[in-house]
Amino acid sequence: MTNQPEEQYKPAEKLELGAIETQAFPKVFKKVSCPSCEEEVQANNLNLQNSMAKCGSCNAIFSIEEEVASVKVQKDMKQEFIRPEGVDLFYFKDDLDITVQQHIQGLDAFGIFFAPMSAIFALLIYVAKGISVLYPVFFAIITLYFLYRVLNYSRNKTYIDINSKYLSIRSRPKNFKKDRTYAANEIDQLYLKHSGDGMGYYTIHMIVNGVEGQTHEKLLTLNTLSKAKYVEQEIERYLNIEDRAVPEANV
């Protein structure tokens, strides 16, 4: 039996990290020439902030807006907000429907605390002083009303329906809130405001350029900034409204 020659393996070479060359990212450079005399303009004669330049040879002043834009490698990007819990979107044909789960607002929170205390106080006065029984009964009814509202807040939703012609908003149950409709082409801008009263609520407002003039309409009240930002973002996106700074906004 003949022995097979043993296969020889070449040992792996050790890779020296120092031998690896790093490839730098390409950089963009731009030289500016005077459009009048075609002389190259020195850097100290360039005003990048105002996109203007002055030729040191013929003293011509000219715009370098295109040159500045061509080497600008980073732009301020608007933050994209992801859909938070409690907000649903539904697209049907060309319509956008936004459903928002409502939260316990300040009036209800105040009522559920104040009404029972008032009912107890009125009952004590009724027992001690003999006032009319209508007072404790009245506050007891108010207490039951606010308790009913708080316990049923899981059913409270606001519906925003948008199409190419109109934006409509309705609350169900209504809770004394009127249904409203606005012409889509009259909505100029949306912006946010913080309540600033310690309750932590955020309101979405619309600037509406109507027939009778410009008005600021409160669209919706929400309990978190993420919900408010997201709803504002989606409405502006659907209506092709470019977000811009508004003096009344404080968020």
pLDDT by residue (tens digit) across 23-34? 443 445 678 899
The predicted-structure confidence for 95-133, as pLDDT tens digits, reads as follows 999 999 877 665 666 666 777 777 777 777 777 777 777
Q: Are residues 46 and 140 in the same domain?
A: no
Residue 240's pLDDT band (boundaries 50, 70, 90)?
A: very high
β 87-92/95-101 pair status: antiparallel
pLDDT of residue 6: 46
Answer whether residue 243 is part of any domain: no
In angstroms, the Cα distances linking 104 to 6, 64, 139, 232 are: 82, 55, 20, 21
> Residue 196 — φ and ψ, nearest 5°?
70, 10
Residues 146 and 188 in one domain: no
Same domain, 122 and 233: no
pLDDT at 8 exceeding the cut of 60 = no
* Same-domain check for residues 165 and 229: yes
**220 and 117 within one domain:** no
Check whether residue 56 and residue 173 sit in a common domain.
no
pLDDT-derived band at 203, boundaries 50, 70, 90: very high
Same domain, 113 and 200: no
Q: How confident is the model at residue 55 (pLDDT cuts 50, 70, 90)?
A: very high
In sequence order, the β-bridge partners of residue 209 are 214
135 and 119 in a common domain: yes
Mean pLDDT value across the chain: 79
Better-scored residue on pLDDT, 70 or 188: 188
Mean pLDDT of 67-74: 63
Residues 110 and 97 in one domain: no
* Domain encompassing residue 169: 87-102+158-238
Residues 227 and 188 in one domain: yes
Residue 63 lies in a domain: yes
**Backbone phi, psi, residue 57, to 5°:** -95, -50
Please indicate, yes or no, whether residues 165 and 147 belong to a single structural domain of this protein. no
Instruction: Quote the pTM value.
Output: 0.56
State whether 199 and 92 are in the same domain: yes
In a domain, 18, yes or no: no
The pLDDT value recorded for residue 241 is: 94
Question: Would 2 be classed as within a structural domain?
Answer: no
216 lies in a domain?
Answer: yes
**Residue 20 domain-assigned (yes or no):** no
